[in-house]
Each structure stands twice: as structure tokens, then as C-alpha cells.
Amino acid sequence: MIPVGSLLSADSLHKAYGQTPALDGASFSIHPGEVVAVMGPSGSGKSTLLHCLAGIVTPDRGTITYAGRELSAMSDAERSALRRTEFGFVFQFGQLVPELTCVENVALPLRLAGAKRKEAERTARHWLERLEVDDVAAKRPGEVSGGQGQRVAVARSLAGSPKVIFADEPTGALDSLNGERVMQLLTEAARSTNVAVVLVTHEARVAAYSDRDVTVRDGRTRDLEHAV
Amino acid sequence: MTLLDQKKAPAATPPGPPGPTGFAAWLRDLALGIRFAAGGGREGWIRTALTAVGVGLGVALLVTAASAPHLLEERSARSQARAESAVPGGPDARAAKTDTSVLRVNAETEYRGRTIDGWLMRADGTRPALPPGVARFPAADEMVVSPALKELLDSSEGALLRERLPNRITGTIADSGLVSPGDLVYYAGSDTLTPDNGGHRIAGYGDPSEGEEMPPVLIVLIIMICVVLLVPVAIFIVTAVRFGGDRRDRRLAALRLVGTDIRMTRRIAAGEALFGALLGLLIGAVLFLVGRQFVGHIEMWNVSVFPSDLVPDLRLTALVVVAVPLTAVVVTLAAMRSVVIEPLGVVRGGRNRRRRVWWRLLMPAAGLAVLGLTGRVDEYSPVNPYPIAGGAVLVLVGLALLLPWLIEACVNRLNGGPVPWQLAIRRLQLSSGAASRAVSGITVAVAGAVALQMLFAAVGDEFTRMTGQDPSRAQFYTFSEKVDPGAANRTIEQFKATKGVKRVIGKVEVYVTRPGKFSGDDVRPTTSLIVGDCGTLRELAQIDSCKDGDTFVVHPRNDKEMSNWVDQTARKGKEVEIGAGLGGKPMRWTLPADSPTVTVRRDPMGEDSWGIMATTGAIDPTTLPGAMTQSQIRVDQSVPDVAEYVRNTAARIDPAMRVSSLTSVARDEKYASVQRGLQVGATLTLLLIAAAMLVSQLEQLRERKRLLSVLVAFGTRRSTLGWSVLWQTAVPVVIGLVVAIAGGLGLGAALIAMLDKEVTDWWLFLPMTGAGAALILLVTLVSLPSLWRMMRPEGLRTE
């Protein structure tokens, strides 16, 4: 059943990798502008849930609905187009294209969506500025610190004006100070632009930035209301 | 007092013995590298395996090349062993008839483009000399054949050939009687062969003379072929040594953390490469030995090899065994100079030092200088191969050295463009080393091939000649010395009745002389009498009107002297003698007085025949003594196997009849075999280069597995990434091909100048460039499935 007003929802998702079940009847929903933390121990299935919600992985069973559209009924090309235009992504590491400069990395989703180079880079610079890393715009990812790189990744996820950002352990490779700052900037920017954030983490202090927690254990979800 | 008060500080650990220095440190670090490579888990083994397989392939090819001298010697020895032995008394001396002598005639034929060597033989006595590899002399209607010919004759593919060679097979020729396992050879027995119908008496087998020396120009070509084929193999080995380098660098970073310094790290890396190279030597040896067992079953462009002929030269093999591991160490040390490995597990792939061009230009310039100073190669003085090979190697290796600088300089100037282009160019700007390495093999191969093509074209005139034959008027020429009465007519009729034959220009030719007595110094006037139907005569002379029973006197074009000479025999209304000098009383025939005089017409063979021409109604060809039959046959080339039908008819009429195809250009056999060798070698080299490029491409993709998955996660189209891979491959390749063309043309021009020839065609680089480009496309296409796999979301999983 789809919760009223939800932007993205999943019901009874099942997914197995070979004989190993990753999701076993997981459900989820998120509203526009909402930040939901998906928590759980390592191997619990939280990343698989994120991948299913983002249309990267197709669940074996269950339904995912985004803005009234059934994700599993879409073709690969349609799901790719959706990811390009409606979703943004932040991962733990290895997400920036090492050969592109930071500004080119941020501009990449826009360019993939068909924007002109100069226009895309102008928008990218705006987001780099907002994420306080405009000074590294011309540098390559290999030449910036981990915290700066993660902020560039957040800028990239926001640059395409997405409706949902999927963040998989976005602070996992950062020290606590840098992690806090990245989370602060991400959630502030998302809330100010009414972007929903699906935040996969196993750290309570990161989850504290969310409006609501969903716990995943053995492939099943448990929803917890949570006051900020 | 407490227990703690009693506790004493632990004694300081005494300092360990100082670590080894100098050569010992080298050995220790190399050994450490070997241990890491051998015990480095799956990752380490993947890297080692990549290097080992790459080096192994290269080593196998090098060792095969090192077998070439022995191979050529053995083949030449077996070829000479089956040639007839020389008879004392000069080249015109005939062997005497003895109990061991043999009469034989060459009955070589061709089947679907392949030559079949064959001999008709008849023993003079009870103990006939046997050709090598033959256990028993074939009796009449029997034949012994090579295994390859037997296989062909037994197969459905050889059905038409079986008609031509109907003799019962009574044995096979052993390896000692064959040049190669694919040889198609037969020895057939005959009881009708005589010296009069073409039989040639031989005393035995085995030509001890030195083989004919190679012309210097061909030697230069062979040297160049060796260089052109082997330099890319060496470059391939250098590339293979660096396979998986990025992954190794990450592991080495962990060693920096526990205290190894930069030099030690480099030496450990060299040790890892050394292990891969040593394993590669082993794999190369295994590949060579295993491949050697199967080589007898492989045939490429009609070239096959006996396994026993593939024995590598000891000195060259030793060179490979020493040079390959040494190269691995040197190349790794050189490569590590541009990599900064830091202790915190980070390999800074930041901007490399800018590449400098001046020292890279030294090598090709030195090569050209060596070639320039070598002087002219002429046909009289022996060729010194070393400066030529050395100069060519310097030029080609120099091109490979020039390439990284040029690629870097070019890609740094590129900018903008759509996303795939930007991804590719930025990747190349960040690190073009791997791309340069991948392309250097093909650059060198194409440059060498361009130079070779130019050389072949420039010296081609020496080895090809215009035959003057006109294949549009007739496609086959047959000639038979069989002189039994009626043979000529039968020949023509049977060819006319052969499937696919459109027209036969069949003529019976005898020499005719002027009757009478001539004193010792006077030459008896002689000319030809050619008998054929009107259609045939019209092909040989410019005849307007012809009916059966007509005769003609045919004069050469614009040659009054020769015309007068013809007229001295061809006197209208007077007699000529036919068969004078054959023994017995010559036949006499009167040339009709009303015979018109006409001018000769060049026949499809490109020959002019003048003298007397007569239709079969004027003189019966079956009555002519000593007549030779020649046919020029025009066929319908759309009929499949028409050539085989013609040859089968010829064999039915006379097994010793020669059938040759008319061709406007004839190539020298040695020149042709050098070109065939180049084809075989170039195919192997290009395959090796393709393998190197593919491994390199897959390795890069594997390195980027996670990134590719991330790019797909945020919606990047597959086509975008596919194009980016293509551009990433194509840009260095285009630059490489430009270098190859420029270098190849330069090298080719230098070599041609050395041979004192002129460049005949500057556009010969086009086919090789096309082949190179096709190879790139192929490699990209083959790597696409891997790219699609790498783009799967599984790449995002970290648990």
C-alpha cells in the first residue's frame, strides 16, 4: 500500500544474490523534502534497498513506485533517464571521475541530461560554492582531500535539481568533523530545495540528521519515527 | 612496595644487524618482490598471470623466430635431396642407362590454386634409384603420394584431382622426402615413358651443390621483415611486464607504511615483474613445445612446418632467456620513476613529469643516420645485415619512444566536445602512458609494414616481369611433346569437348626446311609450319578470308629481313621438307601457289608465329612427323572448377602435358615466398598486438569497475561509455598511425635510397593503416561485452 503523499515508496521487496537473500519483504516510503536514514548492521540489506529504490537493481518481487509510476514496469533506458534527471547520488568512495576536474564532475549529470557545457559548469560552480569547495573547482579528485571530495560529490548530486538524493554511507570514509560538515551541508541544501534524501548509514550521529529512521535487519525494514 | 614497584622496565631491544647494502640489497628486494608476487593472494596472482601469459606469448614467438635458421636449412636440405643428382661432364651431360637409372618426366600440376609436384617415372633396370622418403619404386599405374596429397585425394574436395591422378596409391612418401608436411607430391610409375616422349634419364637423387644465393635486395627485405615483425614482439613483452601495474602500486603503498623506502619499493616492484617474466619464460617454453607438437597440422597460406624443423638456435634462445627477465627489471624500474607511492595507501596519480622530446628524437635520428651511412647495396658485394637491422631497429624503437610525448602533447591541446569525448580526453590527459604503451606495438608494426611495402614496390620490378600474355583472350596454355600421329587433333577435340571451355586455339607445329643441298657454311632455310582450323589461324595471323583447304605465308610485322628468311623456305608452288633431321626420309609437301601472304598477329601467349600456316584440309596434321601440339584455351570463368576440368583433360591426353595459366605478370618464386613469409609473420604479430591491446583495455576497464557502476547509477547511457572507450582507444591510435605513416615513409625512403632505387608509390601506407584501424575497432568491439559487464550495479556493492 502506498502511503499518502509519498514521493517514493516500496512494498514487500524481495531480492536475493544467488542463494543469499538481501531483501526479504522490505518496505519503505519517503515524502518530498524528507530525510530518511536507513540504518542497520553490515550486510543487513540497506545498500540493496537503496539500489532497488534508485532503480539500479531490479527486485525479484515487490513494487516500487516513484511519483505514481511503477519502477519495475520501466525499461532499463527509462530507469536510466529517471536516474539522470530525477535522482542524485552520493556514495562512500570511488564516485568522482578521476580524470575530470571537480567542476566537470559536478557538471557531468547536467551534461548527461543534455545541458550545454558552459551552462552546466555555471550551475556546477554555484553548487560548489554552496558546498564551500569552489576553491577546488579546477582540481582533479586526486588532488583534493577526502572531505572536499565528498562535498564535491554532494554538489554533484544536487546540481541536476533532483527530487531524491540517494546517499550510501556518505561520510563513511571521513573523520567525524568532516562527516558532520558534509551531513550538515547535504541536509540543509536538500531541505531548502525540497529534495528527499534516502540516507544509508550505520552511524547514529549521521542518522541524527534525518527526519525519520528505517532500520533494516535480515532484509526486513522497521520504521521508527524520529524527532530532529 | 607494590608489585608495580618491582616491575622493571624491559631491556631495550638490541639493534638488529644492519640490513644488506648494494648488490645484496638488490637481491633481497628482488626476492621479496618475487615472494609477494607468489604469495600475494588472488590479486597478486592475477597480475603475475597477466604478465606471465603476455611474456609467454612473446617468448613463444621469439623462440619460434629463433628456429627460423634451422628450419630453412632443413627444408633446403630436403629439397636438394630430392633433386636429381648431377651427371659428370657439364650441365648438358645425360645420365647413362644403368641398372639403377630412371627415366622421368615432370608432371607437375595445379589444383585449386595449389601446386602439386609430380613425376612420371620408369625404371631402366632392376634396382632403380628411389627418391628420398619412397620405400618402393611405383610400377605402372601405381603411385606413391605425400600424406597431404593422400588426404586430399581421399576427401570429397579432391574428387576432381582423383580423376587426374587415377593411379593406385601403393605407399606414402616419408617426411625425409618432403619439404613440409603440407607438401603435395606424387611419384607415378609408367611403362610407356621413353626419351622420345619427354622422358629424361637421371642417375640418382641428391644435389650437393650450394643453393642459389639470395639476391642482396631480397636479403635486405628479409632483414627488414625480421626487424618489423620482432620489434613489436619485444615492445609487446615490455608492455606485458607492466600489466596490472596500478593494482601492484596500491599494494606497494602498504609496504611504504612499514618502512620501505622509495628505492626498495621500486626494487620490490621489479622483483614482482621479474617473477612474472620468469614465469612467462616458462609459459613461453611450454607454449612453444606444445605448439610445436601441433604445428604439423597447421597450414597458413600454403606454408606448413615439420615439428622436427622447429629447433631454436641456441645462442638466440640464450639471448631471449637472459634479455626477457632483464627487460622486466629495467622496464619496471624505469616505470616506477614516474609513480609516487606514499605510505598512507595512496598512490598519487597526479600530474606526471612533463615528457621531454629531445632525447626521444635521438634514437630515430641515429637510426636514419646509420642507414644513411651504410652506403649502397648493390648486387655484387655481400650484404652486411647488422647496420641495416640496427638502423631499422633504432628508427622503429625511436618511434615507440616518441609516441608517449606526442600523445601527451596532442591530448593536452584537446578540449571541449560531448561527454564521451570529454571523458576520453580527460582520461588521456590524466594518464596517457597506458594508452601509449598499448598503441606503440601497432605503431611500430604499421611503420615497419609501410616501409616494407615501399621496399617491395620499389624492388618489385626486379622480381616481376610483364609476360606479354593476354589472359582476356585465353586463360590456359598447354604444351605436349607427345608426337604420336593423331595426338594433336585429339588434343584439340578433347579440349573443345571439356566442360567450361569456350574456345581452343589448337595448333600443330613442325619445322619445315627448304629441300636441296647446302654447303657447310650455308644455313639451311628453316621456318615453321603451323596447322590448325580457320579459327585458330585467325588468332595467329591477320587473315580476312579463310576456308578449309587454304594455306598462308605469314610474315612478321615490320621486319623485312625475317620476312625474306621466311620466304626462302615458304616458296609458293614449291616443296618443303618436313621432319628433316629426325632420322629417316623427310616428308615432302608443296606449298600451294595461290597461298596469300599475310602479317602475323600476336597470340594470347604474347608470341608471334610466322612461317607457313595451313588449314587441316590442306595438310593432314596426323601425318606430320615430330609435331608438337600447343593449345591456348579460353574458358567460361563462371563455371566452377573450370581450370580443373581443363587440367583433367590434359592429364587424360598426356600425363606429362604442361598446363599453365596465362598471366600478364609473372613473379619471381623467391620474391613470392618472401612475401608469403611476411604475410604469415604479419598475421602472427598483428594477433599478438591485438591481444596486448585487449588485455590492456580490459585491465583499464577492470580498474574502473566501481567508477563505471557509479556512472551507470546516476543514469549514464551505455552508449556514452561505449563511445568514451572508443575515443579513448581511437585518439592514441590515430596519433600512433600518423607517427607510423611518417616514420614508415621515412624509413622506407631511406632503405630505398640505400638500394639505389626510386620510391614508386607514396600511398602504399593506406592498406596497412586500414588494417591497423580495423584492429582497433575489433579490439574495442571485443572489449564492449566486458564494459557492459563492468557497468552492472554489482560493482557498487562493497560488502
pLDDT at site B348: 44
Strand order through the sheet with A20-30? A20-30, A8-17, A61-66, A69-70
Give yes or no for a contact between B643 and B109, defined as CB atoms under 8 angstroms apart: no
User: B216-241 vs B433-463: helix axis angle to the nearest 10?
Assistant: 170
**Contact with chain A for residue B429, Cβ under 8 A:** yes
- A65: confidence class by pLDDT, cuts 50, 70, 90: very high
**Nearest-by-CA chain A residue for B799:** A43
Give yes or no for a contact between B203 and B160, defined as CB atoms under 8 angstroms apart: no
pLDDT at site A202: 85
Residue burial B378-417, b: 16+ Cβ < 10 Å; e: rest = eeeeebeeebbbbbbbbbbbbbbbbbbbbbbebbeeeeee
Give the residue from B250, B270, B406 showing the smallest Cα distance to B326: B270
Question: Positive or negative, the Cα torsion across A112, A115, A116, A120?
Answer: negative
- pLDDT digit string, tens, across residues B407-417: 888 988 888 78
**Contact with chain B for residue A98, Cβ under 8 A:** yes
pLDDT at site B350: 45
Residue count of chain A: 228
The conformation of residue B131, written as its DSSP 8-state character, comes to: P
CB contact under 8 A, A83 and B714: yes
Write the single-letter amino acid at A58.
T
**Contact with chain A for residue B713, Cβ under 8 A:** yes
Give the residue from B31, B86, B101, B75 showing the smallest Cα distance to B271: B31
Task: Tell me which residues of chain B have a pLDDT lower than 50.
Answer: 1-7, 13, 16, 345-346, 348-351, 799
Greatest Cα pair distance, chain A, in angstroms, is 49
pLDDT at site B728: 84
Give yes or no for a contact between B512 and B528, defined as CB atoms under 8 angstroms apart: yes
- A228: confidence class by pLDDT, cuts 50, 70, 90: very low
CB contact under 8 A, B419 and A111: yes
- C-alpha B138 chain-centroid distance: 35
- pLDDT digit string, tens, across residues B304-328: 788 888 888 888 889 889 988 888 8
Angstrom distance (rounded) from CA B793 to CA A80:
12
List the single residue in A81, A89, A98 with the smallest CB-CB distance to B713.
Answer: A89
Distances (CA, A) of B85 to A117, B91, B206, B207, B648: 82, 11, 5, 5, 31
Mutate to test the interface with A, among B423, B425, B428, B714 (most CBs of A within 10 A): B714
Task: Estimate the share of chain B in helix, then strand, then coil, as percent rounded to the nearest 5.
Answer: 55, 15, 35
List the single residue in B430, B431, B717 with the smallest CB-CB distance to A80.
Answer: B717
State residue B641 phi and psi, 5-degree precision: 60, 25
Instruction: Find the helix or strand (DSSP H, E) in which A201 lies.
Output: strand A196-201
List the single residue in B431, B706, B793 with the smallest CB-CB distance to A94.
Answer: B706
List the single residue in A57, A87, A111 with the smallest CB-CB distance to B793.
Answer: A57
Higher pLDDT, B108 or A125: A125
Chain A CB contacts of B430 under 8 Å are 98-99, 140
Window 161-220 of A: residues touching B by CB (8 A cutoff) are: 168
Angstrom distance (rounded) from CA A150 to CA A141:
10
Angstrom distance (rounded) from CA B513 to CA B509:
13
**Contact with chain B for residue A47, Cβ under 8 A:** yes
pLDDT at site B144: 93
Assign residue B328 a region (left: φ > 0; alpha: ψ between -120 and 50; beta: otherwise): alpha
**Contact with chain B for residue A95, Cβ under 8 A:** yes
- pLDDT digit string, tens, across residues A169-220: 888 777 888 888 888 888 998 888 899 999 998 888 888 999 988 999 888 8
Give the residue from B229, B373, B225 showing the smallest Cα distance to B750: B373
DSSP string, A16-53: EETTEEEEEEEEEEE-TT-EEEEE--TTSSHHHHHHHH
- pLDDT digit string, tens, across residues A147-176: 888 889 989 988 888 999 999 888 877 788
Residue count of chain B: 799
How many angstroms away from the CA of B664 is the closest CA of chain A? 58
User: Residue A115: helix, strand or coil by DSSP?
Assistant: coil
| pLDDT beyond 90 at A137 | yes
| pLDDT beyond 50 at A226 | no
Instruction: Give strand pairing partners of B528.
Output: B511, B611
How many angstroms away from the CA of B430 is the closest CA of chain A? 6
Cell numbers linked to B497: 569437348
Distances (CA, A) of B347 to B42, B240, B521: 21, 21, 98
Burial class (CB in 10 A: 0-12, 13-18, 19+), B538: middle
pLDDT at site A227: 40
CB contact under 8 A, B796 and A85: no
Mutate to test the interface with B, among A47, A87, A99, A110 (most CBs of B within 10 A): A99
- A–B CB contacts, 8 A cutoff, strictly below: 84
**Contact with chain A for residue B426, Cβ under 8 A:** yes
Cell numbers linked to B697: 583495455
Assign residue B267 a region (left: φ > 0; alpha: ψ between -120 and 50; beta: otherwise): alpha
Whose grid coordinates read 606526471?
Answer: B352
Report CA dihedral (B218, B219, B223, B225) to the nearest 10 degrees: 20
Angstrom distance (rounded) from CA B205 to CA B207:
7
CB contact under 8 A, A97 and B426: yes
Chain B CB contacts of A77 under 8 Å are 717
Give the residue from B578, B617, B613 showing the smallest Cα distance to B597: B613
Assign residue B9 a region (left: φ > 0; alpha: ψ between -120 and 50; beta: otherwise): beta
Mutate to test the interface with B, among A89, A96, A97, A143 (most CBs of B within 10 A): A97
**Nearest-by-CA chain B residue for A82:** B715
pLDDT at site A165: 92
**Beta strand residue intervals within B579-733, DSSP E:** 587-590, 597-599, 611-615, 628-635, 658-661, 665-667
CB contact under 8 A, A95 and B707: yes
pLDDT at site B257: 58
How many angstroms away from the CA of B269 is the closest CA of chain A? 23
**Nearest-by-CA chain B residue for A168:** B796
Rg (CA), chain A: 17
CB contact under 8 A, A85 and B348: no
Angstrom distance (rounded) from CA B536 to CA B540:
7
**Nearest-by-CA chain A residue for B429:** A99
Instruction: Please state, as a whole number, how many other Cβ atoms lie within 10 Å of the Cβ of residue B494.
Output: 17
Write the single-letter amino acid at A94.
G
pLDDT at site A135: 93
Angstrom distance (rounded) from CA B640 to CA B645:
9
Long-range CB contacts (< 8 A, 24+ apart) of A70-77?
A77/B717
Chain A CB contacts of B414 under 8 Å are none
